[in-house]
Amino acid sequence: MGLELPQFIDYLKETKNASASTVSSYQRDLKKLETYLSDHGILDVEHITATNLNSYILYLEKQGLSTATVSRSVSSMKTFFHYACRKNHIAEDPAETLKAPHIEKKMPGILTMEETVRLIEQPSGDSPKELRDRAMLELLYATGIRVSELISLKLQNVNLAMNYIICRDGGRERVIPFGNCARQSLERYLRGGRDHLLKGQESEYLFVNCSGSVMSRQGFWKLIKQYASKAGINADITPHTLRHSFAAHLVQNGADLKSVQEMMGHSDISTTQMYLNLNSDRVQRVYHETHPRK
């Protein structure tokens, strides 16, 4: 696709303010398409047809890729060719009629409120690591931020006096409040844990590992699995579980969807709507399990 791809990536970053992960996904998907088309002798974007793109989708499916991965590739193609057509790089949009495979949306796994408390309270000691782990779990559940946002938080992003954090993703910024439990855990970590972990080093990041470096997703994944096991929680917990639990518990306790959407950073409220559906499913399950005349 030649020169149009770098221009498209610049457009995503500068005009659409797309997040770094979104830009990376588009770039990866379109590079794979470019390689496929090149292997089939198609080197000019003007020569790409709907048949070429549908053949590529079939190729991806034959590779055994998941429905979600194929759907994302279709979305990347549709966005790119719509852009190329609008910029008059091509006369017609070959991706206009492309159809993504249907994805069955799975309801996210969530913890009960009692399980959540048990999990968060597992790191209960005063060692630097436990102070850090408790603060991370408290803040994750208090704000519903993504794990990538948690580990990339900087000291300057945290306002302990006003109980809020600032999350930045691409060109977007959102302010998220947190409660006293999270504030107290953060204060204990900053007072008695972080400097010990840094061992004289300096870091702009709020959470650091035992070597004083920034925490990794894998590192957090391991610690949350360990604490879930200690808490006797049998559910398959992922770092996203506390994020989903945060949203579901807010909706369950009467929070309005618009506020939850803003805190979660969802661009479309339909994404947030699943927590309302989740709550509805829970109500029905409780009814069938407990009502004397079901």
Alpha-carbon gap, residue 184 to 213, rounded angstroms:
23
Strand partners, 225: none
Other Cβ atoms less than 10 A from the Cβ of 87: the count is 12
Reading the chain (294 residues) residue by residue, the pLDDT tens digits are 554 788 899 889 888 888 888 888 999 999 999 999 999 999 888 889 999 999 999 999 999 888 888 999 999 999 999 999 998 889 999 999 998 887 655 555 778 888 989 999 999 999 999 999 999 999 988 888 888 889 999 999 999 999 999 987 666 788 989 999 999 999 999 999 999 999 999 999 999 999 999 988 888 889 989 999 999 988 778 777 878 888 788 777 777 777 777 777 776 666 666 666 655 444 444 334 543 444
- pLDDT computed for residue 279 by the predictor: 52
**pLDDT reported for residue 278:** 58
Q: Tell me, what's the pLDDT at 2?
A: 54
Whole-number pLDDT of residue 116: 87
What 3 state SS string does the chain have?
CCCHHHHHHHHHHHCCCCCHHHHHHHHHHHHHHHHHHHHCCCCCHHHCCHHHHHHHHHHHHHCCCCHHHHHHHHHHHHHHHHHHHHCCCCCCCCCCCCCCCCCCCCCCCCCCHHHHHHHHCCCCCCCHHHHHHHHHHHHHHHHCCCHHHHHCCEHHHEECCCCEEEEEECCEEEEEECCHHHHHHHHHHHHHCHHHHHCCCCCCECCECCCCCECCHHHHHHHHHHHHHHCCCCCCCCCCHHHHHHHHHHHHCCCCHHHHHHHHCCCCHHHHHHHHHHHHHHHHHHHHHHCCCC
C-alpha gyration radius of the chain: 23
Nearest to 74 by CA among 89, 61, 88: 61
- The model's pTM: 0.59
Identify the pLDDT of residue 67.
86
The Cα–Cα gap between 261 and 285 comes to 25
Cα separation, 128 vs 133, in Å, equals: 9
